[in-house]
Amino acid sequence: MNGLIARETGGRLLLRMEDIDFARCRPEFETAIMEDLEWLGLSWEQPVRRQAEHFPFYAEALERLEKRGVVYPCFCSRGDIMTAVSYKKDWPRDPDGTPLYPGLCRHLSRGSRAQRLAHGEKASYRLDMERALAAVADRLVWTEFRDGSMGREERAVPEVWGDAVLSRKDIATSYHMAVVVDDAFQGVTDVVRGEDLFMATSLHRLLQVLLGLPAPFYHHHRLLRDAMGQKLSKSSRAQPLRAFRQDGWSVQDVVAKIDLPVAAMGNALTSVGQIIRP
């Protein structure tokens, strides 16, 4: 879908390796991704973008948020958080199903935070959602093309994420921080991604406003699911594209199988895509 939209708009298609997790990202996985995409007939602008090269940009963005007073260091482990919420019935969860952070480190004094950091204690950095929302004057919205029709305004509800992690103890950023900074740095005007990330866009819009970054257009497409309705993914050991290739499937077979709604998209092809517009 990204490739079709980029071609129809005369835009530039980017391939970005989101490789901030050094323990899980391996060269052979990257090679397999590019081989599969090339087999499908896709081409993209060179060089390939790599998030692992952008940690200084993420650090600078986090520092800007610190200066605005909307982030704080969190020294809690996952066990600490689960212990704090385990005895509370129906504790709220974020859209990914993770219990909302109970704020154990939110009210630590500046001196206490500085002392613990000076002693080498590792910390993640969390967004202080209440302060962040108070710092945003305008109503948070984005332009959405989820059904492939004319764009419509969606209201962002970042509060459902609570005090989200923006920088982890073991990785000096997070998915949310990295994609927001990279989209702006790389001049991305249109983002096409799965509907499982629809709610994440609320948090991304808040970060974009706090950092003074532009807002792309968004198109959240449907997901490929198994017979039980579960999303096809590596974690569920879903059959990868390479296996279908080895079984003799053609590109046309794949396109037919996923039922890409090209014709139904009509004029929307001129409006959306994870691309950089000319």
Task: Using the predicted structure, report yes or no on whether residue 267 has a pLDDT greater than 50.
Answer: no
53-62, 144-153, 235-244, range with greatest mean pLDDT: 53-62
Tens digits of per-residue pLDDT, 226-265?
888 888 887 778 888 889 889 999 988 888 888 765 443 3
- The pLDDT of 32-54, averaged and rounded, is 91
Tens digits of per-residue pLDDT, 89-100?
889 999 999 999
Cβ atoms of 206 and 140 closer than 8 Å: yes
CA angle 78-81-87, nearest 5°?
Answer: 130
Q: Return the percentage of the chain with pLDDT > 90, whole number.
A: 61
**Where exactly are the structural domains of the chain?**
2-276
- The pLDDT of 41-49, averaged and rounded, is 90
- The pLDDT of 133-144, averaged and rounded, is 93
Mean pLDDT of the chain: 88
**Tokens, residue 33:** 């991704």
- The helix (run of H) or strand (run of E) holding residue 84 is helix 78-86
| Domain 2-276 architecture | 3-Layer(aba) Sandwich (3.40)
Picking from 138-142, 162-166, 216-220, 227-231, which range would have the lowest pLDDT averaged per residue? 227-231
Buried b (16+ CB within 10 A) or exposed e, 63-81: eebeeeebbbbbbbeeeeb
